[in-house]
Amino acid sequence: MTKFFRFTFYLVLINILPFSLAQAFNGPDTFADLAEKVSPSVVNISTTGIIEQSGQDMPSIEDFFNFPFNMPNPEPSEREFSSLGSGFVISEDGYIVTNNHVVENASDIRVTFTDGLKLEAELIAFDAETDLALLKVNGKDLPHLEFGDSDTAKVGNWVMAIGNPHGLGGTVTAGIVSARGRMLGGRYDDFIQTDASINRGNSGGPLFDLDGKVIGVNSMIISPSGGSIGIGFAIPSNLAKNIIDQLATTGEIQRAWLGVRIQEVTDEIAQSLGLSKTYGALVQGLTPDSPALKDGIKEGDIIIEFNDNEVESVQTLPKLVAEAQIGVSAKVVVWRDEQEKTLYVNLGKQPSLEELASIENEGSSIFIKELGIKIRNLSEDDKNRLQLSSAVSGVILTEVDSDSFLMRQNIKKDDIIIEMQNEPISSTGDILKVIERVISQGKENVLIVFYAGPNSRKYIGARLSID
């Protein structure tokens, strides 16, 4: 090949290579047109509010080296807070989707559009379980977005995010779908993972496909520094749309209910019970009067299929049950006595945590696997037996696992939890509610306050055991 032809060949190659690579990876030449099209529908959300503090925060290490000791102030106090987040308009008359944690406890919510328009927003409804909230502003002919089909978002697909990171509204970032089906501790987790840059303030903003459809609601990041390291998570649109539709229609979320307490199936459990592989959810307990109990599920069963879907792990079952229809028989395949058994369970409506605690009743203990303890509501008989004041309120420990973190802190049977995460505890439902919220926030530790006698408390920072 002559020098002239080699030069011409390389020149042509240089000119077509970027185009060829872009075509090979189905990548856009630019995101400019897409960003221009959808940005007017993305809003900045600012909130203010007041939260009540119990005044009984855990003492700092400095407190114990000062004399006299600076013990917590028992008087409750109030603290004003403000926060920033993102959201997006889904209707021309002003319905807006965001994360629940963006607007939680807010007394004043304001949204700002890209053209500078500022409007007050009303919180219509929210679902703490999936961290979604629906707002409403008084508007007309507002630019709005449509939900896309998140099931079509394959790993490696291009995506674009728009939001309000650190108060910098209208920020556009792009990347790919890094993974699907991520579970981060919530009962109904099914996150889309992306490397599109997401930071604090992006929460509640949209994740777009290349057609400008919303395939996710940006919600969480993993970062040791608090800044983006390319690991962000979005609630898939197919889950979000179902939740938002219910919030808009009824103002609440109704989920199907099986009524089982479940735990992970380990390799050792699978092998000992003759399972061909490690999967399913082990039934460790049944709620009284629950659909599962009525229709034949037993403690020790391993639920391996639900409505013809394989139960891959303990995290899979709650999501499958929640998506099923209330009042309809579900096909449940369990592993019992080293063989499969098919049952049909008429699903009920999931009770609230408070209702669930009431169902469990005063005399029954419930197992809190995250702490390795069994607890029940503190009764008058307990108070008489332990010679407690009638004013003492809390839950009493009926059992502490030998490998529990609390056992190593000298916590034992009959100890009483009176507060958790600075919230007073009066029932087992309060414990369940706090732990679920802590896990949904991505935290691994919880502050527990135990009764230690009149005008005395014992503070313990406990690490949660999260499978």
Strand spans (E) along 237-297: 256-257, 260-264, 281-286
Catalytic residue among 101, 150, 178, 415: 101
Q: Quote the distance between the C-alpha of residue 267 and its chain's center.
A: 27
Give yes or no for a contact between 360 and 431, defined as CB atoms under 8 angstroms apart. Answer: no
CATH architecture for residues 353-463? Roll (2.30)
Top mean-pLDDT range of 59-63, 196-200, 284-288, 377-381:
196-200
Mean pLDDT of 195-219: 94
83 is catalytic: no
203 is catalytic: yes
Whole-angstrom distance, CA of residue 265 vs CA of residue 304: 10
117 Cβ contact partners less than 8 Å away, ≥ 6 residues apart: none
The CATH number of 150-250, from 3.20.20.70, 2.40.10.10, 3.80.30.20, 3.40.50.2300, is: 2.40.10.10
Mean pLDDT of 53-68: 42
pLDDT of residue 467: 54
Whole-angstrom distance, CA of residue 349 vs CA of residue 358: 15
Name the pLDDT band for 207 (thresholds 50, 70, 90). Answer: very high
Mean pLDDT of 166-176: 91
Is residue 354's pLDDT more than 60? yes
**Which is it for strands 214-221 and 232-236: parallel, antiparallel or unpaired?**
antiparallel
Mean pLDDT of 321-337: 93
| Residue whose token pair is 């014992």 | 458
Phi, psi of 439 (to 5 degrees): -65, -40
| Residue whose token pair is 């406890």 | 105
Among 23-37, 80-94, 213-227, 393-407, name the one with the lowest average pLDDT.
23-37
Percent of the chain at pLDDT exceeding 70: 85
Catalytic residue among 86, 203, 290, 404: 203
Q: Which fold has domain 41-136?
A: Thrombin, subunit H (2.40.10)
Return the CATH superfamily for domain 256-349: PDZ domain (2.30.42.10)
Is residue 182's pLDDT more than 90? no
Instruction: Indicate the domain borders of the chain.
Output: 3-30, 41-136, 150-250, 256-349, 353-463
289 is catalytic: no
Three-state DSSP class for 53? strand
pLDDT of residue 463: 84
Mean pLDDT of 55-60: 45
The reply to whether 353-463 shares the fold of 256-349 is yes
Whole-angstrom distance, CA of residue 270 vs CA of residue 285: 18
Whole-angstrom distance, CA of residue 259 vs CA of residue 295: 11
Among 45-59, 270-284, 311-325, name the one with the lowest average pLDDT.
45-59
* Token code pair at residue 127: 């679902």
Whole-angstrom distance, CA of residue 424 vs CA of residue 389: 17
Whole-angstrom distance, CA of residue 186 vs CA of residue 334: 24
pLDDT digits (tens, 9 = 90+) for 310-325: 999 888 898 899 889 9
Measured from the Cβ of residue 101, the count of other Cβ atoms closer than 10 Å reads 21
pTM equals 0.65
Is residue 9's pLDDT more than 50? no
pLDDT digits (tens, 9 = 90+) for 141-151: 999 999 999 99
Catalytic residue among 41, 46, 83, 131: 131
Nearest to 213 by CA among 163, 141, 159, 172: 159
Is residue 309's pLDDT more than 80? yes
Amino acid at site 426:
S
pLDDT of residue 284: 83
Name the pLDDT band for 139 (thresholds 50, 70, 90). Answer: confident
Three-class secondary structure assignment of 378-411: CCHHHHHHHCCCCCCCCEEEEEECCCCCCHHHCC
Strand spans (E) along 100-249: 108-112, 118-120, 122-127, 132-136, 158-163, 171-182, 191-194, 206-208, 214-221, 232-236
